[in-house]
Amino acid sequence: MTLRQTSLLLPLFLSASAALATTPPKPNASDIAASLLSIKIDGMQDLPISGLKMVKTGAQTVFISNNGRFAFYGGKLMDVWTQQEIKDLPDIDKIANRIDLSRMKLNVDDLGPVTVGHGKESVLVFIDPRCPYCGKVMKDLQTLQDKYTFKLVMVPILGAESQNIVVQLACQLGSADVKTKESVRERLLKQDYAGLPTEQPTQCNKEPLQKTIVTAKLFGLQGVPFLIAPDGRTHSGAPEALADWLANKPNAVSVSAATATEPTKVEKKP
């Protein structure tokens, strides 16, 4: 199974226990979405429509988006991730254009993030350690640590050098030594990677990095930085004013974003 296929099927199997034991005569939106998380796929075929697949499950037919998030089922358009029905145009911005992490079966800490700040509201930021626009975000967020907790998740999209840096830092981040973890945090915030080994670590749990790659595919990342605000709004690129964007103020435009230059591969742990 390819990573692309994995990213499609992942949301369908994240929580089999979410399916209802019995089906009421008129199920509500969350019940339908929950049942879609545990369907048995008998067949799947790409449609001549960009981003849409036809899935056969028993006698039922479901039309589902490539990343598995949206499904047209029983006359309803469902956001499977958040278990909500999309009924009207305002729902596109309120539901479909956001990633509500609180409703997803995703523990951000499983991605091996570097945590910066101690505020009540959490912000998820995907970064490449060599990306200059990510550097701007990391500089800007340091003045917002009292209000937000930033979870920095490393994705090596800028080639082999980035991949080596991410693997080295991720392995060090898995250490039980507090000073080692703090060193990773400081290196990342300053984008100072001098002296890092170039050889692959012999002892390292790469599972968080593997989960990160799958999650990045699932979210459809095309570049970094990629931010998810506490209210679920997403942003690709470095906001000109990070504080304004997080506060949902108008005209908080993007500076730019770095995009992948070559495919990223992650070695499986022995």
In tens, the pLDDT along 88-136 reads 988 888 888 899 988 887 899 999 999 999 999 999 999 999 999 999 9
CATH 3.40.30.10 intervals, the chain: 101-247
Q: What share of the chain is helix, strand, coil (3-state, %, to 5)?
A: 35, 20, 45
- At 126-173, the pLDDT tens digits run 999 999 999 999 999 999 999 999 999 999 999 999 999 999 999 999
Q: Residue 132 has what pLDDT?
A: 95
- Write down the CATH superfamily of domain 101-247: Glutaredoxin (3.40.30.10)
Whole-structure pTM value: 0.74
Residue 17 confidence class, pLDDT cut points 50, 70, 90: very low
Q: E strands, 217-268, where?
A: 223-224, 226-228, 234-236, 258-259
pLDDT-derived band at 79, boundaries 50, 70, 90: confident
The tokens describing 115, both together, are 């945590």
Query: pLDDT tens digits for 220-238?
Result: 888 999 999 999 999 999 9
